[in-house]
């Protein structure tokens, strides 16, 4: 560990994992926390419980704002454990001088996403700090959901299983970068930020046996796949050309020197199912996004690693993202 915290420690990748394990896990260690899922499973498997803080910059961006992001982020973490979001808390830290009109716009966005999830805010807290003490507005949300599909776990992947993504990847990270830098894009590129519970509910109702589920937020798809490979001690073999990426996102990645699989998403999830369920799962996912596809299979070739296979016959490991990436992304 470095002696001081750097921006890289919040990237959702290698440095972030090191920070969490060597400081927070070290002192908060318990069986529930050790599972490292998007939400904790509590009360004998009946409830899912999660919390998240949002510091995105800018507060408003194409396709969303910090309020939509806060509700989607927390409700999606519950949905990734097969839970229906029910109750949320909302705490805000507001900078002195912040426009009340903008605050109400943000709260209205939150209300809209709450209605999509069928959840309600039942408690909260408001703090106002002097100008310059915080960058405009930070939001923390905590959520509780009722688990409708039990047994979802990052440690349950086995040889022969299939891995799918629910849509094209990297749009949130690319959109935030473009908005932050004032880049004028001759396109309709916008964040993928969306509530995922309705899609997960369709998978459950279709009888899909969901093995693992994770929304690809900070660290992107590469972080999810690496976490799964390590948790299940298996190899995930990805067909590189199968990963769906919009051309506008590719262009921004070239500017940044990043890969789309490393960029944050806020309405895209990765799904693992048994081979016999892949066709049905893909059919359900394509009802929402035509870009949903199968990107990988599970093997035992290199345990704990993610292997990227190209159409040229070359192979390379896809590691956890490192470095600063894009700070203040969510």
Number of folded domains in the chain?
2
| Per-residue pLDDT band at 217 (split at 50, 70, 90) | very high
pLDDT tens digits, 252-272: 899 888 899 999 999 999 999
Strand ranges (E), 106-224: 120-129, 137-147, 162-165, 210-215
The pLDDT of residue 17 is 86
Give the residue-averaged pLDDT of 284-309: 97
Name the residue with higher pLDDT: 15 or 270.
Answer: 270
Residue 187 has pLDDT above 70, yes or no: no
First and final CA of the chain: distance in angstroms?
24
Q: Are residues 200 and 108 in the same domain?
A: no
Per residue in 30-53, pLDDT (tens digit) is: 999 998 898 999 999 999 999 999
Examine the domain organization and report whether 135 and 279 are in the same domain: no
Closest CA to 216 of 194, 198, 236: 194
Count of helix runs (H) and strand runs (E) in the chain:
10, 14
On whether residue 298 sits in a domain, the answer given is yes
Above 80 in pLDDT, residue 177?
Answer: yes
Give yes or no: residues 91 and 126 share one domain.
yes
Task: Kindly state the average pLDDT of the residues 71-76.
Answer: 98
The CATH number for 269's domain is: 3.90.650.10
Do 45 and 74 share a domain, yes or no?
Answer: yes
* 217 and 255 in a common domain: yes
Cβ-based burial of 154 (10 A; exposed 0-12, middle 13-18, buried ≥19): buried
Average pLDDT value for residue range 5-34: 89
Q: Averaged over 113-126, what is the pLDDT?
A: 98
Q: Is residue 109 part of a domain?
A: yes
Same domain, 76 and 111: yes
Strand order in the sheet with 293-299: 210-215, 269-273, 162-165, 293-299, 235-239, 306-309, 315-317
Average pLDDT over residues 210-239: 96
* 197 and 106 within one domain: no
Predicted confidence at residue 117, as pLDDT, reads: 98
| Two structure tokens written together for 79 | 């949905």
Q: Quote the percentage of the chain above a pLDDT of 90.
A: 84
Q: Tell me: do 104 and 250 sit in the same domain.
A: no
Arithmetic mean of pLDDT over the chain: 94
Task: Flag whether 71 is in a domain.
Answer: yes
Residue 240 sits in the same domain as residue 268: yes
**Distance from C-alpha of 213 to C-alpha of 125, rounded to nearest angstrom:** 31
Residue 41: predicted pLDDT: 96
Q: Is 27 contained in some domain?
A: no
Q: Do residues 220 and 277 lie in contact, with contact meaning Cβ atoms separated by under 8 Å? A: no
pLDDT at 184: 62
Same domain, 168 and 65: no
pLDDT of residue 183: 67
Whether the pLDDT of residue 72 is over 70: the answer is yes
- From 115, 147, 179, give the residue that closes a domain: 147
What CA–CA distance (Å, rounded) separates 124 from 143?
12
Residue 270: left (phi > 0), alpha (psi -120 to 50), or beta?
beta
In this prediction, residue 185 has a pLDDT band, given cuts at 50, 70 and 90, of: low
Do 197 and 142 lie in one domain? The reply is no
Q: Which residue has the higher pLDDT, 257 or 80?
A: 80
Q: For residue 186, what pLDDT is reported?
A: 59
Q: Which CATH number fits the domain that encloses residue 54?
A: 3.30.1330.10
Task: Kindly write down the DSSP assignment for every residue of 226-238, as one continuous string.
Answer: HHHHHHHT-EEEE
CA pair distance 192, 207, nearest whole angstrom? 26
Query: Residue 194 belongs to what domain range?
Result: 162-317
Distance CA 271, CA 231 (A): 15
With 80 as the cut, is the pLDDT of residue 9 above it? yes
**Domain end among 124, 147, 170:** 147
The answer to whether residue 3 sits within a structural domain is no
* Mean pLDDT lowest among 35-44, 118-127, 167-176, 312-321: 312-321
């Amino acid at each position: 560990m470095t002696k001081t915290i750097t921006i890289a420690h919040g990237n959702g990748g290698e440095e972030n994992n090191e920070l969490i394990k060597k400081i927070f896990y070290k002192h908060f260690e318990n069986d529930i926390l050790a599972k490292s899922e998007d939400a904790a499973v509590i009360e004998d498997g009946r409830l899912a419980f999660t919390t998240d803080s949002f510091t995105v910059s800018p507060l408003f961006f194409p396709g969303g704002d910090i309020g939509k992001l806060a509700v989607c982020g927390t409700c999606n973490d519950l949905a990734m454990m097969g839970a229906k979001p029910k109750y949320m808390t909302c705490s805000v830290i507001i900078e002195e001088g912040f426009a009340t009109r903008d605050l109400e716009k943000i709260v209205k966005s939150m209300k809209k996403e709450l209605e999509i999830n069928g959840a309600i805010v039942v408690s909260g807290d408001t703090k106002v700090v002097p100008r310059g003490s915080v960058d405009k507005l930070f939001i923390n949300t905590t959520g509780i959901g009722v688990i409708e599909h039990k047994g979802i776990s990052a440690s349950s992947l086995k040889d022969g299983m299939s891995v799918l993504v629910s849509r094209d990847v990297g749009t949130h990270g690319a959109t935030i970068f473009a908005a932050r830098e004032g880049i004028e894009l001759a396109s309709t590129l916008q964040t993928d930020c969306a509530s995922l519970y309705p899609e997960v509910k369709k998978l459950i109702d279709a009888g899909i046996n969901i093995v693992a589920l994770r929304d690809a937020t900070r660290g992107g798809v590469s972080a999810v796949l690496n976490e799964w490979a390590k948790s299940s001690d298996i190899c995930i073999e990805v067909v590189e050309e199968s990963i769906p990426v919009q051309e506008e996102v590719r262009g921004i990645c070239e500017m940044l020197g990043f890969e789309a699989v490393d960029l944050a998403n806020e309405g895209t999830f990765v799904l693992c199912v048994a081979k016999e369920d892949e066709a049905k799962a893909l059919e359900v996912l394509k009802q929402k996004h035509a870009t949903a596809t199968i990107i990988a299979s599970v093997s035992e070739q290199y345990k704990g690693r993610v292997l990227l296979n190209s159409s040229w016959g070359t192979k390379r490991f896809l590691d956890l993202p490192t470095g600063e990436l894009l700070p203040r992304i969510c």
